[in-house]
Structure 1
């Protein structure tokens, strides 16, 4: 039986691996893949197990689990998936960041930035290159492809459900994503594994690490949902931390469509007074940031003390200038997003920005799945959050 210490909890792995582990990081998330690989290599070298030399544990300890793969393109823009080493019999995990626009390719002499569609096609190409040789196929897709097109209204496509069905039809057994816009989209593939992971603990951990004067109680802190769609996420945060909850309701102009959506006319607040309190705005993503910044401005107008913006995905599609302005004017104090999607060097240098590291969490999920071990403890971070808060309070008293 293998044991290792993870934070304050002891993770026990009592099962043999499903198959030798293989890890493919597609273009756009190579760095994330390397970080995940380092954790896996370290843990498996340090892990004690009396059966490590037996056949079921063949290739258990390796210098790297990364499998070399590429998706070269022709001058016409067409591409192919290519594996540069064997994956026969492997339990294969493919990591893809569909939002990374920093990757480019040449088409008829013109430079094109890769879109989510390009990344998704590359994922399918690499799966096709495996050609049924892998023992099991698993996809780690932090930002769920077309996750915001999760339901059909009238005559329109249902892209996310279609994409999930495409992957499972190609042999994918498990799909791991983070903070899916609507987890009910998994109903499109009811017989396959689908997990949407919340980075709640990681947000609390990094916030407490960088802020030293917080009083975590209902009298001094509050959790805010920027819209009605994110209420469930905010309710979890508030309940675990023992804080009050507030919510903004977006009033939209449904007579027009701008950039694919109905523009927001106003934000109406529902909740108790935020005066003198530190507030955590929690959402699944920052796209343009307009909604998050409007909420922050409204909270400061209501005399909130500090405003912290937490979002799983920081896309910043309209640039960083508005965030710089709000920070310099004291309207936001800190923005936290994960490293699950591409982060520009300019973003990482901003004084108001904190990157929430997720590589270790992904490595834990892969390690558990490779052993066919339960993910329940990993997906339920309540105990870890409570320990982090208790430690923070103890350090304040000390």
Structure 2
């Protein structure tokens, strides 16, 4: 049932650029002005976070746009404190829009006496008064089950499929999607099926955490334009080595499509020197100046998808409809000409 109030957006300091872009897209979709709620989210001298909302939000349907990317702890606390401020201000409903869900890689116990931090974060979010979560490409699908509230997990693969169909339309028959490890096969297969191309796998073996000892290509990539697909690129060590391995196996070109460009430490420098022709990421994480100025990194927007998802949640209509190219294509019209 549609909400009686208008959807209202509020942003923390994690990715204000994306928040403003979502507001602009919602304005276009609705034909009514949608702007960010006037608020301040700042720090005291001892780095305590303080939030003050300047507008009346009583009875409003609130959407907090806040990826919990680096610095993960600060951005997570901003999200929780904003939620508390809105709850105490009598907001009707609070939805957390978390394009990048930090701590998602700690989704299980890998050895004795280690935490499941993703579950802890889920508990904190629920206790803060947030009633719904909207995110994109969770590192592990089971994280949705960590929450006792609805979680809508969007996928970047429909956006990537549109981009690939446009970028490689001249030689789509030579394209092959590649999973950089066995764990990502389901994600890569889903994209391969969307664009109707074959799938290959790079099998990696680690001798110790953070180091890749050996890589083997499963599948024939000879003469193919290989597209590596993954959800997170952190230091880019594995990604760049996978690209080297594919080129050694006879690939014609290597490109990568990664949802969340964490790109910490030496990542941007590695990518700049890599054999990869291009790395395509989304704007789920605010890109640094180094990322923006790297010649072989390209950013595709998620604001059209998030704007429509927010409107669907507000209207009480299907969010999963955005997984269909028939629904998503018109939202991205003007960006991609027909393949």
- TM value normalised by structure 1: 0.78
Q: CA deviation at 1:384?
A: 5.7
- Of 332, 340, 344, 2:284 maps to 340
CA contact (8 A) 1:178 1:196 kept: yes
Provide the residue aligned with 1:138 in structure 2. Answer: 95
- Of 74, 79, 85, 1:118 maps to 74
- For the pair 1:94 / 2:64, whether they are aligned, the reply is yes
d(CA) in 1 for partners of 2:272, 2:62 = 42
Q: CA deviation at 1:211?
A: 4.3
User: The residue matched to 2:238 in structure 1 has which SS?
Assistant: helix
Moved more, 238-247 or 30-39: 238-247
Provide the residue aligned with 1:148 in structure 2. Answer: 105
- Structure with greater Cα Rg: 1
Provide the residue aligned with 2:250 in structure 1. Answer: 303
- Of 362, 369, 372, 2:306 maps to 362
> Residue by residue, what CA displacement relative to the aligned partner does 1:114-168 show, whole Å, maximum 9, x if unpaired?
x201110111111111115111010011111210111123211111111112111
- For the pair 1:26 / 2:12, whether they are aligned, the reply is yes
- Long gaps (5+) in structure 1: 1-14, 46-60, 101-114, 255-260, 393-398
CA contact (8 A) 1:311 1:337 kept: yes
> Residue by residue, what CA displacement relative to the aligned partner does 1:73-119 show, whole Å, maximum 9, x if unpaired?
2212222221111111111000112224xxxxxxxxxxxxxx20111
* Change in CA separation of 1:382 and 1:302 when aligned onto 2, cut-off 3 Å: farther
Provide the residue aligned with 2:271 in structure 1. Answer: 323
User: The residue matched to 2:80 in structure 1 has which SS?
Assistant: helix
Provide the residue aligned with 1:237 in structure 2. Answer: 191
- For the pair 1:38 / 2:8, whether they are aligned, the reply is no
Q: CA deviation at 1:262?
A: 4.6
d(CA) in 2 for partners of 1:274, 1:75 = 56
CA contact (8 A) 2:178 2:227 kept: yes
User: The residue matched to 1:320 in structure 2 has which SS?
Assistant: helix
> Residue by residue, what CA displacement relative to the aligned partner does 1:3-22 show, whole Å, maximum 9, x if unpaired?
xxxxxxxxxxxx63353211
CA contact (8 A) 2:217 2:249 kept: no
Aligned residue-pair number: 332
Provide the residue aligned with 1:253 in structure 2. Answer: 207
User: The residue matched to 1:304 in structure 2 has which SS?
Assistant: coil
* Change in CA separation of 1:346 and 1:209 when aligned onto 2, cut-off 3 Å: farther
CA contact (8 A) 2:177 2:192 kept: yes
* Change in CA separation of 1:361 and 1:27 when aligned onto 2, cut-off 3 Å: same
Q: CA deviation at 1:42?
A: 2.2
CA contact (8 A) 1:19 1:89 kept: yes
- TM value normalised by structure 2: 0.91
Alignment of structure 1 residues 186-335 onto 2, 5 Å: 186-189=144-147, 191-211=148-168, 213-214=170-171, 216-217=172-173, 220-254=174-208, 261-271=209-219, 273-317=220-264, 318-326=266-274, 331-335=275-279
> Residue by residue, what CA displacement relative to the aligned partner does 1:255-279 show, whole Å, maximum 9, x if unpaired?
xxxxxx35211112222x1111111
Moved more, 165-174 or 84-93: 165-174
* Change in CA separation of 1:16 and 1:164 when aligned onto 2, cut-off 3 Å: same
Provide the residue aligned with 1:5 in structure 2. Answer: none
CA contact (8 A) 1:26 1:123 kept: yes
- Of 119, 124, 144, 1:161 maps to 119
Q: CA deviation at 1:379?
A: 2.9
d(CA) in 2 for partners of 1:78, 1:116 = 15
d(CA) in 1 for partners of 2:164, 2:199 = 18
CA contact (8 A) 2:95 2:130 kept: yes
d(CA) in 1 for partners of 2:58, 2:158 = 36
d(CA) in 2 for partners of 1:27, 1:319 = 23
CA contact (8 A) 1:71 1:125 kept: no
Provide the residue aligned with 2:83 in structure 1. Answer: 127
* Change in CA separation of 1:253 and 1:93 when aligned onto 2, cut-off 3 Å: same
* Change in CA separation of 1:225 and 1:92 when aligned onto 2, cut-off 3 Å: same
CA RMSD across the alignment: 2.2
Provide the residue aligned with 1:176 in structure 2. Answer: 134
User: The residue matched to 2:102 in structure 1 has which SS?
Assistant: coil
